[in-house]
A and B are shown apart, each in its own frame.
Chain A
Amino acid sequence: MANILERGATAPDFKLPVTPDQKLSLGELKGQPVILAFYPADWSPVCGDQMALYNEILPEFHKHGARLLGISVDGVWCHAAFAKDRHLGFPLLADFQPKGAVARSYGAYREDEGICERALFVIDGKGTISWSYCSPIAVNPGADGILEALEALAPQAETSHR
């Protein structure tokens, strides 16, 4: 498994397409916690799907003032179709060109297969990684770790946001 960036590291900034004509950068989200969920590919089987699960938990993430971003190497049109099909209420970023560059900067790229790891990062409002976790590629890591990490950030989130 890859050596992903760990707690205490500065989260590498990035600017990635979020729709065919819009880009989103990490820097724009300063001041609020950000959850980065790298995942291997759109269109994995429905019921065990990690993004579908996070979509369901979105209100809990929002209670912490946190923004969730999904990232894979799929292109924007693929993401758009996937998000529409699954009614996803959060952005999917396309780490498509140069392929996997952002995943690589977080240590979350699988060179052999050319896909992202199933890796999670919780980044605090100042841009520091406060928690990270890399799951075995076939195992949906769930959301318990994310929620615990957000709770650990809570006092800061309350003063800097909401």
Chain B
Amino acid sequence: MSGFAPAGDPVIPDYGDVSQCVANNDLFCADWFAAQWPEVFQPALLEHILMTVLAIAIGFVISFLAAVLAYRKRWLTAPIGVTATILYTLPPLALFQLLVPLTGLTLLTVEIALVCFTLVILFRAVLSGLTGVPEDVKRSARGMGMDQGQILRRIELPLAIPSIISGLRIATVLTVSIATIAAFVVDSGLGSPILKAISSPFNTQFIGAGALAVLLAFALDALLTLLGKALTPWTKARS
């Protein structure tokens, strides 16, 4: 068979000039960032949003069900809480390492890990929201002939919303941050440019991606705050 490819005559594209800022590796080169936005940072940001939202959504569903279960069967609170806490205290990279044999270097691995980190926060938020409903209110509801499901849907859950929202806010900010580490598993999200910037210290890439992650965290936090206000009109209606 073959051996060495005959040396071809490659056309070497003009990769353009390097601005003084980039050459000096100054703190932040806006020109480079703007040029890289459409191909690097915008897709990374969108991927990051997707990873975060997906993890929060899945984590919320699991935590929510677990919290409702623990609320009904109080003895389950400790085992569920301890499990979630253990998952939470695992270093993210260690968790990735534990998971990869099972799920490969895939988005699935990332999502499982991210979801694991949200569980303890969301579980506690939902549970404390439910247990925080005043006893009188619950007794009233029972005394008026509501069944367990009606009390949960119409009374306990609405009143747990402020606690749930604050849990979601913390979990979301945390997930935005941890999702940057996902780049060790998949080449996706804002962690990807950060990781590449670490391997060849390039400030603009590092700071640009980092700043986007911070802004994303702020933006999602603000959105959740607004959502919380919209869902709890009674809290602002104090005389």
Do A and B bind?
no
Binding site for A on B (CB under 8 A): none
Binding site for B on A (CB under 8 A): none
